[in-house]
Amino acid sequence: MYLHMFPPQTGDKNTLCFIGLLMPWGGLFPVAEMQARLFCAQMFREISLPNVDRMRLSISKDEEKARQRYTHSNRHYFEVDFVPYLRDWLEYCDVARATSGSVSDWTLFKKVFFGPCVSPVYRLHGKHSWIGAREAILGVEHRTSTAYLGLGPVGSHSGYCQMGRLEKNGQNETQKSGTAPNGTIHINNFDGQL
């Protein structure tokens, strides 16, 4: 598939896309987000994809790279390197990764340059930028360490998401605020028992 997303058989229309159907050496969700952005940009005609022949040529080059790097197997075609794949993707969209010249905030610069490559880095500048990208980049370490501690999302008391069932007067009601009025939480097990 072209860019591991578009089947060349539908290249004339480009209305079919497979998002997340690859195995990156890194996080899948940031890559899937970038693929979704590319598909939306293509659907809204902000970008145009090449014709079917150029797609097939690109696919054969990708397959050849996979054969040189791995053993001959169809499974390895779907493996991609995280950062190079995102760099290749950037040539199709008007998205700029924050670089040393474009970052005027020293704290943010250190996180972008020395920290992990996370998808909000591609939301700092350019088309479809996100105002919360700076806070998301600066909070990566906190969110990662919180996830390993099992504390759950901010405001959660039990380590679970703010979902579940709250038993009130013998009736099960969907929990909305994270805790019952008396501070107790009853979470459903996977088998549906309380």
Three-state DSSP state, 74: coil
Task: Tell me how far CA of residue 128 lies from CA of 36, 56, 95, 164, 194, in angstroms.
Answer: 13, 30, 8, 34, 44
> Cβ–Cβ contacts within 10 Å for residue 98, how many?
23
d(CA 182, CA 194): 18
- pLDDT at position 187, please? 44
- pLDDT at position 94, please? 61
Q: Mention every residue, 6+ apart, whose C-beta is less than 8 A from residue 28.
A: 20, 22
- pLDDT at position 135, please? 92
- pLDDT at position 102, please? 54
The neighbouring-strand residues paired with 6 are: 2
Give the model confidence (pLDDT) of 114-135 as tens digits: 888 888 888 887 777 888 988 9
Q: Where are the domains of the chain?
A: 1-93, 95-149, 159-194
- Residues in the chain predicted with pLDDT less than 50, given as ranges, are 100, 156-170, 172-194
d(CA 172, CA 186): 10
Q: Please state whether beta strands 165-168 and 171-174 pair in parallel, antiparallel, or not at all (unpaired).
A: antiparallel
d(CA 17, CA 22): 12
- pLDDT at position 42, please? 86
Task: Determine if the pTM surpasses 0.85.
Answer: no
Residue owning tokens 């996370």: 118
